[in-house]
Amino acid sequence: MGKSWSRLFNLDNFDSFILNLYITCLFHDIGKANNGFQGAVQRKTPQILRHEHMSALLLLQPSIQEWLKQFESIFYEGILSAVAGHHLKAADSALSTEPLTYHFCCSSNETEWMIETYFQHEEVLSVLKKIADILDSTPPSLEMIPTRWDKAFISQGRSQFERINRLFKRKDEKHNLLLALKAAVIACDSLGSAMPRMDINPETWVQNFATECFNDELLTPEWLQENVIDPRIRDIEENKGSFEPHDFQLQAAKLGSRSLLLSGCGTGKTLAAWFWIREQLKSHPARRVIFLYPTRTTATEGFRDYASWAGEDASLVHGTAVYDLEGMFDNPLDPIEDSRRSHLYEQDARLFALGYWPKKVFTATVDSFLSFMANQYSAICLLPVLAESIIVVDEVHAFDSKMFTALERFLEFFSIPVLCMTASLPPRRLKILQDNCNLDVFPHDIADFEDLEKQMGTDRYQVSTIDAASIAQKAIESIQANKKVMCVVNTVNQCQKLAQEMVKHLDEKIVLCYHSRFRLCDRKKIHKEVIGKFRQSSGPLLLITTQVCEMSLDLDADVLITELAPVPSLIQRMGRCCRHLIPSSGRIGEVLFAEPKDHKPYKSEEISQAKAFIEELIGYNRLLSQTDLVSYLDKLDKGPDRQASGLPTLFTHSYLFSPPGKEDPFREGSDFTIDCILDFEIEEYHRLRREKDPQFHGYVVPVPKYLAKPDPTGRLGGSLKLAPYAHYSEKYGFCNEEVEAHVRPHTCLIV
């Protein structure tokens, strides 16, 4: 494991890393030897200064500094930094807006600043003796270290820490070793914290757990083929008939360890990625596979289709994963003998991130793993998994500037096999991934692959424009012609209004409304219904939806009506029309573009760019292929990507400091909604939480901020608010206005 960690961080001396990690771990909690911490543990007095800051202050004392710095093998700055920040509450007070208690050597308690230390205690001396034995030395003298520390003494230590940080930043030497130590101490500390919670002997448990997670058993190409790829191929054959891999998929499998797979919607990129993973296992030893998606919904779909076949060796990782796994395979569309139903995929709730360590195959949101770049604690605790993995990052086109910046920095700093995938990508981002991150783009020329060229180059779209006022009428006409219709609008409010209008003219059973503002239980149910009805071979269907349809959803509409959006988004939406094209069938999808009344949630220049895109497509005066769409991207603005505000790179750019990561640091998105619980369901929500029933997640619903209210009882805690039940409909989701009583849920949630 340590050697995998060294490879991830590009360390050139494994022995030096292990030595400094061992000493850091021995030092990290030594600062608990003071009256403030002991009083807090016994619930007698408040803690004046955080214990890890006290540990760092001890390291700053001259006798300790001089003792450690005499050894060439000791990386003093790394030990100091890792000790001070192992709870991610050591921010730079000059730069941080975090609460005062998160700043290094600052306290919110300004009335009492005299701390009595117990560094002469036998347990402290025992720790120092262990360190001395490792260094083949004698312990340092503590006689000159004051036993009572006042505010001036602590302030002097803070200034010294800041000075060491400035000097280190100028040299910027051993930066990777610094990062490796800081993260490793957090991972070790999380494991150590779990030990006392075990029912069996802690030392026995940790030895068994470490052996289970990090033994010599590596993943093999044969294991992946048997446990993931073959079952998925059989599933495809059962649902769609015979299967034969495309030549482009077989060639993609031979790509190098840092590549970008750029291919249109529906061309089989995901299976090509699993072929690539299989080939990577032949040359890159790994114990785990991680498939990352931008959203929870796309991650859940990826898990269902691929990772879930690995049974108990697979795990779905995102904020509501436990809930989403409930009943995943209780679906009439799945074979009744489906072996995946019996497996338990939930992480051990007692250990959170540690519960994932033994797993082999992961499907997750990008946030779950890469938010360690923003110093999110749980993601740092997942680094031992990531360090031994082969990674696929899907739907890169959907990353906002924060997510893309984090991906870029990750690829630049860390050494691990990564395949990025997308159907479309603006040239400026493509250039970053090629030039800055050294990704090899595949295919270089689709003409090299006859099957891909035929699939991408076959005519499949007839495009035109439509007035916004005519959208409803066009949808009705298409339904009357027995078509499957997808209507994509840019806002939830417009989606709801259009759906409510359409049920006045069409059979309510064939009108589906799907967007992001449903309770999770309803969104899960509607998602299944949407997928299932689009898989049916015949019959009219109208899906009215928003941006949620753009990624990793296997939907195939005959007619697409869409409001203008950024060009990459439009290309993704078009990938849901005439998706399963059989070139000899002559099937053509009809695509109609409508200009929205307002450019929001996008920028006005993005809508202007979309207009130019549509004008050019129509100007071709012919049927269009996916090649036509992707080729247009080369004509887009090649200027620099928009600078991300609050770059999520705290992990790599904080140096000796360790500021806390934000709760949701990784996405820009709109700031218009907040997660809520409907006031009608608050008691049932609390009951399920008390019983640790994952169904409580199903009550959460995103609500416009102006309609969210604080919980007067304070029981919700965190960022959850209350929302009015009268605005909620199971069919249309949470609405800005009150809905009629007959469409509201009549009882509390029953799943």
Asked if residue 99 and residue 29 are part of one domain, the reply reads yes
DSSP 470-516: GHHHHHHHHHHTT-EEEEE-SSHHHHHHHHHHHTTTS-GGGEEEE-S
Q: For residue 510, is it within any domain?
A: yes
pLDDT value at position 338? Answer: 47
Asked if residue 469 and residue 440 are part of one domain, the reply reads no
Contact present, 579 and 423 (Cβ < 8 Å): no
pLDDT confidence tier of residue 446, bands split at 50, 70 and 90: low
Tokens of 693: 């029933």
Task: Using the 3D structure, point to which of 412, 447, 482 is the last residue of a domain.
Answer: 447
How far is the CA of 127 from the CAs of 31, 118, 132, 584, in angstroms? 12, 13, 9, 75
pLDDT confidence tier of residue 484, bands split at 50, 70 and 90: very high
Average pLDDT over residues 294-308: 81
* Mean pLDDT lowest among 12-26, 217-231, 413-427: 413-427
Contact present, 520 and 320 (Cβ < 8 Å): yes
Q: For residue 33, is it within any domain?
A: yes
Give the CA angle between residues 160, 163, 167 to the nearest 5°.
140
pLDDT greater than 60 at residue 314 = yes
Residue 635 has a CB neighbour count (10 Å cut-off) of 12
Give the CA angle between residues 631, 635, 640 to the nearest 5°.
120
pLDDT value at position 343? Answer: 43
Average pLDDT over residues 639-654: 65
User: Hey, which of 102-116, 155-169, 242-256, 445-459 has the most confident mean pLDDT?
Assistant: 155-169
**Cα 400–chain centre separation:** 12
Asked if residue 230 and residue 157 are part of one domain, the reply reads no
pLDDT value at position 351? Answer: 52
Contact present, 407 and 439 (Cβ < 8 Å): no
pLDDT confidence tier of residue 647, bands split at 50, 70 and 90: low
For 210-221, what is each residue's pLDDT tens digit? 888 888 789 999
Average pLDDT over residues 147-171: 93
**Cα 487–chain centre separation:** 28
**635 versus 242: which is more confidently predicted?**
242
Percent of the chain with pLDDT over 70: 87
Bridging pattern class, strands 728-729 and 115-116: unpaired
Residue matched to tokens 């022995």: 15
Percent of the chain with pLDDT over 90: 48
User: CA-to-CA distance for 377 and 660, rounded, in angstroms?
Assistant: 8
**479 versus 300: which is more confidently predicted?**
479
Average pLDDT in the chain: 85
Tokens of 437: 């991150």
pLDDT value at position 748? Answer: 47
Q: For residue 256, is it within any domain?
A: yes
Residue 438 has a CB neighbour count (10 Å cut-off) of 12
User: CA-to-CA distance for 194 and 182, rounded, in angstroms?
Assistant: 19
pLDDT value at position 322? Answer: 52
Number of domains into which the chain is organized: 4
Q: For residue 289, is it within any domain?
A: yes
pLDDT greater than 80 at residue 253 = yes
Asked if residue 724 and residue 703 are part of one domain, the reply reads yes
Contacts of 666 (CB under 8 A, 6+ apart): 366, 367, 370, 371, 374, 376, 402, 403, 406, 648
Q: For residue 584, is it within any domain?
A: yes
* Mean pLDDT lowest among 38-52, 88-102, 305-319, 627-641: 627-641
Q: Name the residue among 354, 227, 234 with its Cα closest to residue 281.
A: 227
The residue segments making up the domain with residue 692 are 673-743
Q: For residue 576, is it within any domain?
A: yes
Contact present, 630 and 574 (Cβ < 8 Å): no
Contacts of 604 (CB under 8 A, 6+ apart): none
Asked if residue 237 and residue 179 are part of one domain, the reply reads no
Tokens of 362: 């992961």
pLDDT greater than 80 at residue 265 = no
pLDDT greater than 70 at residue 735 = yes
For 51-74, what is each residue's pLDDT tens digit? 999 999 999 999 999 999 999 999
CATH classification at residue 523 = 3.40.50.300
**327 versus 625: which is more confidently predicted?**
625
User: CA-to-CA distance for 106 and 244, rounded, in angstroms?
Assistant: 64
Tokens of 647: 């770059």
Q: 302-307, long-range: CB within 8 Å, 24+ apart, which pairs?
A: 302/270, 302/363, 302/394, 302/552, 303/328, 303/363, 304/328, 304/329, 305/232, 305/235, 305/270, 306/228, 306/232, 306/270, 306/274, 306/363, 307/228, 307/361, 307/362, 307/363
pLDDT confidence tier of residue 591, bands split at 50, 70 and 90: very high
**746 versus 544: which is more confidently predicted?**
544
Asked if residue 166 and residue 122 are part of one domain, the reply reads yes
Asked if residue 150 and residue 196 are part of one domain, the reply reads yes
Asked if residue 243 and residue 157 are part of one domain, the reply reads no
Residue 670 has a CB neighbour count (10 Å cut-off) of 11
User: CA-to-CA distance for 77 and 673, rounded, in angstroms?
Assistant: 43
Asked if residue 170 and residue 58 are part of one domain, the reply reads yes
Burial class of residue 413, CB neighbours in 10 A (0-12, 13-18, 19+): middle
Q: Collapsing DSSP states into helix, strand and coil, what is residue 354?
A: helix
pLDDT greater than 50 at residue 643 = no
Q: For residue 215, is it within any domain?
A: no
Asked if residue 180 and residue 70 are part of one domain, the reply reads yes
* Mean pLDDT lowest among 151-155, 314-318, 495-499: 314-318
Q: Name the residue among 489, 506, 509 with its Cα closest to residue 497.
A: 489
Q: For residue 564, is it within any domain?
A: yes
pLDDT value at position 121? Answer: 94
pLDDT greater than 60 at residue 646 = no
pLDDT greater than 70 at residue 487 = yes
pLDDT value at position 347? Answer: 36
pLDDT greater than 70 at residue 387 = yes
Contacts of 615 (CB under 8 A, 6+ apart): none
**398 versus 108: which is more confidently predicted?**
398
User: CA-to-CA distance for 253 and 271, rounded, in angstroms?
Assistant: 10
User: CA-to-CA distance for 156 and 456, rounded, in angstroms?
Assistant: 66
**657 versus 640: which is more confidently predicted?**
657
Asked if residue 478 and residue 394 are part of one domain, the reply reads no
Asked if residue 376 and residue 340 are part of one domain, the reply reads yes
Q: Name the residue among 687, 662, 679, 689 with its Cα closest to residue 727.
A: 679
Average pLDDT over residues 7-22: 95
Average pLDDT over residues 559-586: 83
Contacts of 183 (CB under 8 A, 6+ apart): 372, 380, 383, 651
For 22-56, what is each residue's pLDDT tens digit? 999 999 999 999 998 998 888 888 888 999 999 99
Residue 244 has a CB neighbour count (10 Å cut-off) of 8
Average pLDDT over residues 190-216: 82
**120 versus 333: which is more confidently predicted?**
120
Contacts of 623 (CB under 8 A, 6+ apart): 459, 460, 461, 462, 588
Q: Name the residue among 168, 172, 171, 181 with its Cα closest to residue 6.
A: 181
Q: pTM of the prediction?
A: 0.79
Contacts of 336 (CB under 8 A, 6+ apart): none
